[in-house]
Copies of this chain bind each other. A is one copy, B any other.
């Protein structure tokens, strides 16, 4: 998410989610912290969406609850947003607008024009925003593919026309700015899938991203060519394929896509299954199949399974385990490390330079990707002639102020992310995440003590229970010793303490120290004192 501001007008580009990393256990996802927009809500005019991936639209239900402004998106993106808002009961009150490329419209002081880019979902757009100071271009996520599966290439002619009168500022996709050369065309994958389906002796199962409609189209093409029928498993894949067929983003002869029950009646060599789970998601179709836990599908010898994807950073291990388990069950497995069954949707260095050379911006801000990707992209900008002092590597919350003559980071506003666990929203630096990491490392021990409120004496023996700490055979002895220690130690501490919280803290510390002495480990210790 980024905001562009000129005097009384703010437009926002994209409102996506961040998927949880290793240090965010139990978190569903994170959304942008919109404190700044909330404080300036009277000036926010619109949200412009580049394309329909979750990391660009996923936060809309949360953001629109607080900022009910118009949203502008292309046709497919609009469809995906509608589904999402309906699920949240927000569709009727939202102000969604479908835009077409090359149809400029005004938003406050700005004039906005979308242009087509090629990415791993149809109907992806870049955005040109004409401001009183000059034209600002945001590429969205893009690659340059001269032979895309859906025939929709990045629209350089329009971009050239927009850029002809000079561009003030370019925001460009940095995700693959580390990678030399060009990103391969989707056509390469089409050929590999065609060949794999042609050569397969038995059933073929292909897992990919549910949003990668063009990949599904290539699978349909090959299936038709080799007289196979296609069935779809996994909720998000089923929803997307149905939606794309209905809206015309997927094209296949009637009867090509069939139900699971129809597919089960066909010989295996006449079936292609398209499935979710290419990222090793634990509850996905492919992972359940690889574990022998899927209700409809069991791997048999002769099956070919294709992971038409590459692992998103952080998912490498779970994807690898899924591949191993598929092999164990006797499948022949094809995946990006050993076959060209996937290309990604982001521009590599030569494409990024082409964008820079075409747009020739005065100022440049690399966006999307980790810090090292921004650094790589900044270097490319300098190579193509952007003045070093006009290239800005920004972090969340940085406020870049530009005039026609100079730019500088003038402020830091509250930004970053808010994490969501069920119904709860926490700041990313919430103590809860740290507590969870600590619980995972060493487990938890609870100690409960009952104290006579009048005599200030311990009644009964302190009780201890634990989870994730030590095996039962160890804990029985250990906790008996701990209980005795606690009882005698508490007497020493003196129980006539006014503040129960303080006494609980002391009790917790005492148990923690004792357990450390005994085990060289410090589990989380929760102490409860019952005064009766």
Chain A residues close to B by CB (< 8 Å) = 21-22, 25-26, 178-179, 313-314, 316-317, 320, 323-325, 327-328, 333, 337-338, 370-372, 375-376, 421-424, 426, 430, 432-433, 435-444, 446, 448-450, 459-460, 463-471, 474, 504, 519-521, 524, 526-532
Q: Closest 8 A-B residue pairs measured CB to CB?
A: A440-B440, A435-B468, A448-B448, A324-B371, A25-B440, A439-B439, A436-B468, A26-B441
Query: Given A471-B424, A471-B430, is A372 in contact with B26 using a C-beta cutoff of 8 Å?
Result: no
Q: Which residue of B lies closest to A529 (CB)?
A: B463
Residue of B nearest to A432 (CB): B468
Distance between A308 CB and nearest chain B CB, rounded to angstroms: 16
Asked if B372 and A327 make an inter-chain contact with CB atoms under 8 angstroms apart, the answer reads yes
Residue of B nearest to A520 (CB): B422
State in angstroms the CA–CA spacing of A109 and B424 once bound together.
67
Looking at the assembled complex, report how far the CB atom of A212 sits from the nearest CB atom of chain B, in whole angstroms: 22
B439, A440: Cβ atoms under 8 Å?
Answer: yes
A526 engages B443 (CB within 8 Å): no
B422 close to A178 (CB less than 8 A): no
For A327, A459, A468, A521, the residue with the greatest tally of chain B CB atoms inside 10 Å of its CB is: A468
B519 touches A444 (CB 8 A): no
Copies of this chain, how many? 2
Question: Contacts of A448 on B, CB cut-off 8 Å?
Answer: 446, 448, 463, 528, 530
Tell me, rounded to whole Å, the shortest Cβ–Cβ distance linking A180 to chain B: 8
Give Cα distance in the complex from A439 to B470, angstroms: 14
Q: A198 CA to B119 CA in the complex, in Å? A: 41
Q: Contact at A26–B440, with CB atoms within 8 Å?
A: yes
Contact of A313 with B313 in the complex, beta carbons under 8 Å? no
How far, in Å, is A394 (CB) from chain B's closest CB?
12
A423 near B520 with CB under 8 A, answer yes
A375 to B305, CA, bound (A): 14
Q: In the complex, are the beta carbons of A426 and B372 less than 8 A apart?
A: no
In the bound complex, what is the Cα–Cα distance between A106 and B497 (angstroms)?
73
12 A-B contacts (beta carbon < 8 Å): A26-B443, A313-B320, A314-B317, A328-B371, A333-B372, A422-B519, A424-B474, A435-B467, A436-B440, A448-B448, A460-B532, A532-B532
Complex alpha-carbon distance, A443 and B27, angstroms = 11
- Is A444 a contact partner of B470 (Cβ separation < 8 A)? no
Known: A432-B469, A467-B435, A520-B422. A446 touches B370 (CB 8 A): no
Q: In the bound complex, do residue A467 and residue B370 qualify as a contact, i.e. CB atoms below 8 Å apart?
A: no
Q: Give chain B nearest CB distance to A188 CB in angstroms.
A: 16
